[in-house]
Amino acid sequence: MFRLLQTLFGKPLPRHQADEATLPSFEALAILSSDALSSVAYGTEATLGVLVLAGSGALKLSVPITLAIIALVAIVVLSYRQTIEAYPQGGGSYVVARENLGTIASLVAAASLLIDYVLTAAVSLMAGTQALSSLVPQLLPHEVSFSIVLLVLVGWANLRGVKDAGKLFAYPTYAFVLMVVVLALGGVFNLAFGHGFHAAAPLPVKALEPLGLFLILRAFSSGCSAMTGIEAISNGVKIFREPAAANARLTMVVMGVILSAMFFSVSALGYAYGVAPNPNITVMAQIGTRVFGENSALLWALQISTLLILALAANTSFADFPRLAALLANDHFLPRQMGWVGDRLVFQNGILILLLAAGLIIIICQGDTTVAVNLYALGVFTAFTLSQAGMVLHWWRLRGSAWLGRMLMNGLGAFTTLLVLLVIIVSKFNQGAWTVVVAVPIIVLLLASVRQRYRQVYGAMAIAPGQINVLEIPKRTETLGNRAIVWVPSITEPTINALRYAAAIADHVLAVWVKSDDEDSEQIEAAWQAVVGVNTGIEFRVMASPGASLVAPFVECVESEEEKYPDLFHTIIMPMAIPKQPFDGLLLNQRSINMRQALVDQHNRVFTVVRYYLTC
Instruction: Write out pLDDT tens, residues 387-419.
Output: 899 999 988 988 877 788 888 988 998 898 898
Return the SS3 of 391. Answer: helix
Does position 145 have pLDDT exceeding 90, yes or no? Answer: no
Q: Where are the alpha helices (DSSP H) in 429-572?
A: 434-461, 493-505, 521-531, 551-564
Least confident of 152-156, 422-426, 605-609: 605-609
Tally helices (H) and strands (E) across the chain.
21, 5
Domains, the chain, in order of start with CATH, read 26-428 (1.20.1740.10), 482-613 (3.40.50.620)
Does position 19 have pLDDT exceeding 50, yes or no? Answer: no
* Cα–Cα distance for residue pair 377/390, rounded to 1 Å: 20
Does position 200 have pLDDT exceeding 80, yes or no? Answer: no
Q: What is the pLDDT of residue 266?
A: 92
Instruction: Write out pLDDT tens, residues 477-536.
Output: 344 567 888 888 878 888 888 888 888 888 888 888 888 777 777 888 877 777 776 656
Does position 294 have pLDDT exceeding 80, yes or no? Answer: yes
Q: What is the pLDDT of residue 350?
A: 81
* The residue type at 92: G
Average pLDDT of every residue of the chain: 79
Q: What is the pLDDT of residue 468?
A: 54
For the residues 24-40, what does the mean pLDDT come to? 82
Q: Where are the alpha helices (DSSP H) in 24-61?
A: 25-38, 40-51
Does position 469 have pLDDT exceeding 60, yes or no? Answer: no
Q: What is the 3-state secondary structure (H, E, C) of 94-115?
A: HHHHHHHCCHHHHHHHHHHHHH
Strongest mean pLDDT among 15-19, 197-201, 244-248: 244-248
* Cα–Cα distance for residue pair 285/306, rounded to 1 Å: 10
Least confident of 148-152, 319-323, 356-360: 319-323
Q: What share of the chain has pLDDT > 90, as a percent?
A: 10
Phi and psi at residue 514, to the nearest 5°: -95, 115
Question: β-strands 606-613, 569-578: how paired?
Answer: parallel
* Cα–Cα distance for residue pair 122/128, rounded to 1 Å: 10
Continuous segment of H or E residues that includes residue 18: none
pTM: 0.76
* Cα–Cα distance for residue pair 342/426, rounded to 1 Å: 42
32 with 247: CB under 8 angstroms? Answer: no
For the residues 85-95, what does the mean pLDDT come to? 80
Q: What is the CA radius of gyration of the chain?
A: 28
* Cα–Cα distance for residue pair 370/46, rounded to 1 Å: 8
Position with higher pLDDT, 239 vs 309: 309
* Cα–Cα distance for residue pair 484/506, rounded to 1 Å: 6
Position with higher pLDDT, 599 vs 539: 539
Instruction: Write out pLDDT tens, residues 297-351.
Output: 999 999 899 888 887 777 778 877 888 888 888 888 888 777 666 555 567 788 8
What b/e string do you get for 155-184 counting C-beta neighbours within 10 Å, with b at 16 or more? bebbbebbbbbbebbbebbbbbbebbebbb
* Cα–Cα distance for residue pair 390/245, rounded to 1 Å: 19
